[in-house]
Amino acid sequence: MKTNHTSKPCSRDRESLLATDHATLVDMYLSLEAKIDQLSDSIRDLITQKYGKKNERFEAPGQLLVFPGAEFGSEPPSTPAKAEDKPEAKVRRPGHGRKSIPDHLPRRPIEAPVPAEAERRCPCCDVLRVAVRRILRNSRYGCVPATFFVEDLYDVVYECPNGHGGQLIAEVSEAVKNGKAAPSLMAQVAVSRDVDHMPFNRQVGMYARSGVPLNRSTLSDIHAQLATILLPLYQLMCRILLESRIISTDDTPVKVLDRSKEKNIKTGRKWAYLGDREHPVNVFDYTHGRGRDGPLAFLHGSKAILQGDCFSGNLAICAAMGTVLVACLAHARRYFIKAMLNDKEGCNQALSMFQALYEIERAAKELELSTDEIRMMREEEAVPLLERFHAWLQQQYLIAQPKSMFGKALFYCLNNWNELTQYVKDGELRIDNNHTEREMKYVSMGKRAWLFFGSDAGGRNDTIVSSIISTCRRHGVEPWSYLTDVIPRLAENSSVILEELLPYNWKPKSTEVEPAEIAVSKGAPKAVSA
């Protein structure tokens, strides 16, 4: 028989509560209510993260009046609809039709099969009908799976036809001495992993279907060899980055295999650093943790303005570098998005203000203003809005529950207000750090596929290759063609001008070489396998 062990304690608690004075009971009730709201917010946030929408789109319930004298958060008077008003025709959005087939693709005509002879006979004169014209019914895409081939590397021996002097042996250059992968395959392995997020084990299966037996360890070695070849170019990009006046940064955790740990896994960190317009490079770095020592060592000697989130490590880095941190308004806005279920009315007002600030940036972009004009526009329009927004935040924080989602959003903005408003002082600064976060999304998508780095060395190799590919993406350069051309040029000539091989300076160079004519007369040596 099940006994109730809580009956007596509950009875005693009830008696003690009945003896408690009214003011104490009210305080207890308010405390419990605040705790329940906090737990409810946490549960809603977890459910939203798992099952809810991932976008942060916000549509204001009414148009915000941003001109001087307008009340914050006020709505324009609504105009009653007239009976004779007709609904406007739906405007067709561009890009929502069938795209035309590009002209550069090769064409393969496919004709209808010839009908039987009985069908081709004319019903009037019994003469066979002949084809007179073709009618294009449709054009469709075709595809041929990846094609592999073997490159046989021959060294050519030259001799004097009169038998004088010694031999001259022309050797074929290799990116990796006696390596198993040509530059085209090295580029394919890197692009498949860092662009298409296909881990090595999936690539093994894909290549096996084409009849090429490559092991996962072989592909890992190819990726490491590629990182070694690209290292000089990566080091140049790091030097270019440190010359930037503005550096945008973000980071994400990555799992790293470590047999000395309890679960054979430790947590490393992958950092992204994006240069400004005059230094357009994207560089990644790998560290063992999220401390400030790694970024400080990487940014040593730089006095650039740092743009990122309000992570305490970024503040410490800026203090050590003697520079300022420009915070991301998208991060601050995200807190109010999460707090919508907690305080919809207050969040609507805050998000409407963010919407007005972003509208200023959108207008400046559409007008193609210079950096000085953008700064002046922000001083005239954004600064008054920010001042009113700051006053509203202070007012709301006095009455909000500090531990609620809405209270945390208010505290984040007030605590980092100086960093959040730095962008108005310079027209080259951005209102948010979304351009860096977009690059980190490629890393996050990749983590779901390759899961972890095999070692710290693997993490460093990945940062080298992904830095090159990310910079190619920034400048619209096709990464496979770029790597296939750059790999042999880096390997063949140690004195190559690295600046010419940067993605934004790169010009393709034909690597086709005329084969040497080999004498086949009596006594002349023939080509033999090594």
Burial of 221 (0-12, 13-18, 19+ CB in 10 A): middle
> Which two structure tokens, joined as six digits, stand for 227?
């990182």
- pLDDT tens, per residue, the chain with 530 residues: 444 444 444 555 777 777 778 888 888 887 887 778 778 777 777 777 677 666 666 666 654 444 344 444 444 444 444 445 555 555 666 656 678 888 888 899 988 899 898 888 888 888 888 888 899 988 888 888 888 889 899 999 998 888 787 889 888 888 888 888 999 999 999 999 999 999 999 999 999 998 899 999 999 999 999 999 999 999 999 999 999 999 999 999 999 999 888 889 999 999 999 999 999 999 999 998 888 889 999 999 899 999 998 888 888 889 888 899 999 999 999 999 888 877 888 889 999 999 999 999 999 999 999 999 999 999 999 999 999 999 999 999 998 888 888 999 999 999 999 999 999 999 999 999 999 999 999 999 999 899 999 999 999 999 999 999 999 999 999 999 999 999 999 987 777 899 999 999 999 875 454 555 665 444 444 454 44
DSSP string, 132-196: -----------------------PEEE--TTS-S--EEEPPP-SSTT-S--HHHHHHHHHHHHTS
- For the chain, first and last CA: distance in Å? 88
Q: Return the pLDDT at 33.
A: 79
How far apart are alpha carbons 416 and 67 in whole angstroms? 26
Regarding whether 280 and 256 lie in a shared domain, the answer is yes
CA–CA distances in Å: residue 512 to residues 47, 149, 323, 485, 515:
58, 16, 50, 11, 9
- Residue 65 has what pLDDT? 45
Q: Is residue 369 part of a domain?
A: yes
Tell me, yes or no, whether 318 and 459 share the same domain: yes
Q: Which sign does the torsion angle of CA 276, 279, 285, 291 carry?
A: negative
- Please report how the helices 383-399 and 405-415 are oriented relative to each other, as an axis angle in degrees rounded to 10: 130
Instruction: List, as one string, the DSSP characters of 364-416.
Output: HHHTT--HHHHHHHIIIIIHHHHHHHHHHHHHHHHHS-TTSHHHHHHHHHHHT
| Gap between the Cα atoms of 156 and 49, Å rounded | 63
Task: Give the tokens for residue 165.
Answer: 């002097």
Length of the chain (residues): 530
Both structure tokens of 241: 């980055």
383 and 476 together in one domain:
no
Both tokens of 425, joined, read 């002082």
429 touches 372 (CB < 8 A): no
Does residue 187 sit in the same domain as residue 303?
yes
One domain, residues 201 and 316: yes
| Residue 226 within a domain | yes
Pairing of strands 156-158, 305-307: unpaired
Domain presence at residue 229: yes
- Around Cβ 295, how many Cβ atoms within 10 Å? 25
Question: 453 lies in a domain?
Answer: yes
Tokens of 472: 């190619």
Q: Are the beta carbons of 181 and 491 closer than 8 angstroms?
A: no
- Residues 297, 199 within the same domain: yes
Q: Which of 431, 454, 475 finishes a domain?
A: 431
Q: The whole model's pTM is what?
A: 0.78
User: In this structure, what DSSP letter does residue 6 have?
Assistant: T
Q: Find where tokens 């743009």 sit.
A: 307
Look at residue 529 and tell me if it is in a domain.
no
Could you give the angle at the alpha carbon of 482 between the alpha carbons of 478 and 487, nearest 5°? 155
Q: Do 487 and 229 contact (CB within 8 A), yes or no?
A: yes
Residue 54: strand, helix, or coil: coil
On the CB side of 158, how many CA atoms lie within 13 Å of its CA? Answer: 6
Distance of alpha carbon 168 from the chain centroid: 51
Q: Which pLDDT score is estimated for 510? A: 59
DSSP, res 501: G
Res 60: pLDDT: 63
Nearest to 157 by CA among 148, 149, 146, 165: 165
Are 340 and 357 in the same domain?
A: yes
448 and 312 fall within a common domain: yes
End position of a domain, from candidates 406, 431, 456:
431
Q: Is 19 a member of any domain?
A: no
Is 160 within a domain? no
Q: Do 295 and 394 share a domain, yes or no? A: no
| Two structure tokens written together for 105 | 């693709």
Per residue, what are the HEC states of 202-241? HHHHHHHHCCCCCCHHHHHHHHHHHHHHHHHHHHHHHHHH
For the chain, the domain total comes to: 2
Residue 135 resides in a domain: no
Same domain, 227 and 247: yes
C-alpha 361/C-alpha 31 separation (Å) is: 43
Looking at the structure, do residues 315 and 344 belong to the same domain, yes or no? Answer: no
φ, ψ for residue 357, nearest 5 deg: -65, -40
Q: 451 with 416, same domain?
A: no
The strand pairing partners of 270, in sequence order, are 252, 286
Structural domain including 427 reads: 329-431
